[in-house]
Amino acid sequence: GLVYGVLSLLYKPAQQRWFPYRFMLLDLGAATLAVLGAYLWFVEMPPSLLRSYVMLLIAWLLLLLGVELLSFEFLAFVIFLLLALFPMLTLSLSFWFSVTGVYYIYLLLHWSRVAGGLWQNKWVMSLSSIPIGIFVLMLPVVHGLFGITSGWQLLAPLLSLLFVPFYPLAMILHAIGWGALFDSGLQQLFSLPSGYREHTLTLWAVAGYGLLSLGAMRSRILFGATLTAALLYLSYLFLFVQNIA
């Protein structure tokens, strides 16, 4: 989104003056994919970024064809395509966590659209529903493998929002020689107390939660049950398990 937005600032004035007949989505989409493809190659194609890039590529092609993107069928198609092209992804934990996170984003977008009203507002979705919802819904999945529990984890939704402007800003600051500007703040963040406790969910609990989550794509009741289960687990973790040293 950032790359596309920056390029559009340069493209729109030129388009209006010299080539108004050009389709911006086609031109900027191709340019954005080229830039992101170079970045993906530079960082040696980690599975989570590879999944994102392939989804973006297919989404761009489908947008050009006028196809609906917010569908679980589209997500399933991308997953199977990636596994067919890169079979080793089946063994990548980061890939499956990435897929799970995107699936929960789709769930939130789907049921927010059904609910309508304030829940469909893009600012409400971007600043609260998605970051907080993903944090809550992913907790049982993550704790199936990683049991570290600390109250500082509750900062994750806020930090994920702050990271969006921070990352490109940090790159710009490093490019102009001001890369140390945020060092003191980052050092304070990294020096927060590190006390934690371990709590790992059992395999059957994670499997049950996974089945509930899969059913949530078709049933509002099951979506409510999934969200309730995740909230109850969050409450249990941070009221009875966690410990901030």
The DSSP call for residue 120 is G
Decide if 105 contacts 130 (C-beta within 8 A): yes
68 found inside a domain: no
Q: Does 218 reside within a domain?
A: yes
What pTM did the predictor assign?
A: 0.74
Instruction: For residue 240, give its domain range.
Output: 92-245
């170079």: which residue's tokens?
A: 38
The residue whose two tokens read 């589209």 is 74
Per-residue model confidence (pLDDT) at position 68: 64
- The answer to whether residue 116 sits within a structural domain is yes
Mean of pLDDT values over 6-29: 69
Mean pLDDT across 134-146:
90
Is 139 in contact with 230 (CB distance < 8 Å)? yes
Amino acid found at 2: L
Residue 244 confidence (pLDDT): 45
Question: For residues 238 and 156, is the Cβ–Cβ distance under 8 A?
Answer: no
- Stretch 45-53: mean pLDDT: 74
Q: Is 109 domain-assigned?
A: yes
SS3 state of residue 86: coil
Residue 90 has a pLDDT of 87
Helices and strands: H and E segment counts in the chain: 11, 2
Q: What is the mean pLDDT of residues 14-41?
A: 74
Residue 214 domain flag: yes
pLDDT number for residue 228: 93
- Tens of pLDDT, residues 58-115: 777 777 766 666 778 888 888 888 888 888 888 888 888 888 988 998 898 888 877 6
Instruction: Place 4 in a pLDDT band, splitting at 50, 70 and 90.
Output: low
Reported as a single tens digit per residue, the pLDDT across 180-211 is 777 777 777 777 766 777 788 889 999 999 99
Q: What is the pLDDT, as a whole number, of residue 9?
A: 66
Is the residue at 17 inside a domain? Answer: no
**Whether residue 48 has pLDDT greater than 70:** no
The string of DSSP letters for 157-191 reads HHHHHHHHHHHHHHHHHHHTT-TTTTHHHHHHHHT
* Three-state SS at 148: strand
Total structural domains within the chain: 1
Q: Is residue 48 part of a domain?
A: no
Question: Does residue 150 fall inside a structural domain?
Answer: yes
